[in-house]
Each structure stands twice: as structure tokens, then as C-alpha cells.
Homo-oligomer: A and B are copies of this chain.
Amino acid sequence: MAKTNIHTISAFAAALGLIVAAGLGVAPGEAAAQIAKNVAAKSPWGPTDEIGTLNMMTDDSRFDVLKQISGGKVYDLGVDLFVGMPICCGAFGDPTFQIFMTHAPSRGDPAKELLSYSGDGVTMYTHTGTHIDALNHFGLHGKIWNEVSASDDLGVRGWTKSGVDKYPPIVARGILIDVAKSKNLVHLPSSYAITVADLKDALRKQGSTLRPGDVVLVRTGLMTLWPDQAKYRLLDEAGLSLEAAQWLVEGQKAMLLGGDNLGVESLPSPNPDNFVPVHSYLLVERGVSLMEAMWLEDLSKDQVYEFLFIASPLKFRGGTASPIRPLAISIQRK
């Protein structure tokens, strides 16, 4: 019964190929070293803050984007949840998606029964399908966002702080950055690390402008591989570099990031000590939540780059994530 600590998680991640083996890997580099401090940050929204940058939402910010709605077509950014679907973390021991019936019409001759009752249960990792990671999903040195420590606020069923139950509904301006299309690729190649230049290029080609408080969705094209478990996988996925993540949240003041891949960031990690350096930077140091496995194909096809973004996470008390089915509705470009 392994204790979950840095040694086992690092060894685990190394065995799975989620980090580049020490010695062979790209050194994290000075740039990265200057981005990530590797300590949990104190929130600028005060000692009771549990939601980080989602504090940027206000009635005004929401009304501003709601007033710009330009049509009634709704884009569905969530995937189906089904037995046999790709999951990020089966190799980490997390449960696969299970749906099972608890009530069903009788066999034989159901016409003889008046009422035919069907019911079902599910078991799943909270990070299943399209989902949002809460700030308590990762910590650094035993502390999550806002310097909350495991010894004070972690119980057997989860954290008392920064769980997904604390998350407000998300209603904000959304931007799709279609990196795959910008590069004329069906999908980015394995392990490709999206650069700041890639993001700027795509935005320029799209004619989109980022604004503080935006929900930024980055398209790698990897959903074209969905739901092939062997191809749509965490191991060597294309995704954001740490520099690109920094540019979005520090430079452009993005409120929330999402991707159509399983882990948002490029993997394996170039940092042998941290198998998900973009996660820890965003969640623990910047208070920025992440959305993963998003269905961005329809937005891409219709070239809808700016939109009202809506997501409404289930309030699993203490939960480190919730499956979501986000929506996008186009707004006037301005």
C-alpha cells in the first residue's frame, strides 16, 4: 500500500513516461525556473479566497458579455461519458467510468407489468470526460492555493478548502485559440509544446483579441483522435508550454484555461522533479483553474472564436474536479 508522496508519484510518473528521464530530458531551463517558484501562493483576493482568478467575474463582467450575444445556436463543448471511454489516469489507479443499472424493466414479458422502472448508478474519477480541475487538485510542499495546508484542511473525504463545491457558475467571455488550424494541422504532433509565438500567430490569423477575465480555450486538434484510448492519451500529448501558460495568465490576465487534450499541458514534462509543471504553476501559484478534454471541433469548424462561455460544475463537496458540459454561444466580435 504505497504512501502517496513525492517519491512514489515521481517514480510512478517516470515509469509511465510522464516525465523525461533525468539526464536525457531537456533541462527545465532558466526561463522555466523564473516562472515557477514552486511554492503555494497567497491569494490577492484575501485569506479566505478559495477560487483564485474566478474572482474576476462580477455581475458587470457577466452582463457585459451577455449583452453581446449574437444568436441562439448553442455549442456543446462536452463529450459523452461511457464505459470504455479514454480516461487520463487509469494507470495511476483511478477508477474507470462505470454506469450500472439498479432498476430495469423485467425480462420475459414486460408487457405484463404496468410501470417499467429504470435507474442507474455511476462510479468515476472526478476528472472524467470534459471536466474542470479545482485549485485543490495540486499543491506544492503540502500546501494548495492560498497557503492552505493538508494538516489543517484535508480530511479523509477531501479538502475543506478550494473544492469544486466552492466554485461559482462560470459565465464569461470565451476565446478559442485554434493552434492546430493556425498551423494547418489536423492535430499537433506528439509532445508538441505550444509557444507564446504560436498563440500570437493563431490569434492574429483569427483576428481575435484577448481581454482580462477571458476563458481561453486552446485547440490542439487532439479531439480528432477521440475516443481511441490508444491515441487520445496523456502520455505524450501536445499542449501548453510553461511560458505560454505564463503569457496567458500573467501577460493577458486570462481567468480560466481549457484545452481539448487530457492535461492542457505538453507531456512528458521537461522537469524531472515535477510531472505536471503547468498544472502546479497555474493551480498552486496563480490560482487559475483548468478545463480538460473539451470538445472544440464544432467551434473550430464554424470559426467561432469569441463567445459567451458557460460552465456549471457539480458541487462535489471537497472535490478536486467535476465533469462539466460547457456551452458556447457566439457574441458580436468587437
Could you say which of A143-151, A194-202, A246-254 contacts chain B?
A143-151
A232 in contact (CB, < 8 A): no
Residues from 1 to 54 in A contacting B, C-beta threshold 8 Å:
1-7, 9-10, 38
Query: Chain A contact residues (Cβ within 8 angstroms of B): what range?
Result: 35 or more
A123 in contact (CB, < 8 A): yes
Contact B93 A102 (CB under 8 A): yes
CA distance A9 to B310 in the complex (A): 39
Contact B2 A155 (CB under 8 A): yes
A152 in contact (CB, < 8 A): yes
Residues from 107 to 128 in A contacting B, C-beta threshold 8 Å:
107-127
Residue in contact with A121 in the complex, picked from B95, B139, B141, B154, CB distance below 8 Å = B95
A71 in contact (CB, < 8 A): yes
Residue in contact with A84 in the complex, picked from B93, B168, B313, CB distance below 8 Å = B93
CB distance from A84 to the nearest CB of B (A): 5
A212 in contact (CB, < 8 A): no
- Residues of B close to A182: CB separation below 8 A: none
A82, A111, A311 — most chain B CB neighbours (10 Å): A82
Could you jot down 28 A-B contacts, CB within 8 Å?
A1-B155, A1-B160, A1-B318, A3-B107, A9-B103, A9-B117, A10-B114, A62-B72, A66-B66, A80-B315, A83-B93, A83-B317, A84-B93, A90-B96, A98-B123, A99-B316, A100-B101, A101-B157, A102-B157, A113-B141, A115-B138, A116-B150, A118-B136, A119-B320, A122-B126, A123-B123, A312-B312, A315-B325
A residues with a Cβ closer than 8 A to B are: 1-7, 9-10, 38, 58-64, 66-67, 69, 71-74, 76, 78-84, 89-90, 92-96, 98-127, 129, 136-144, 149-160, 163, 165, 168-169, 171, 273-276, 280, 310-321, 323-327, 329
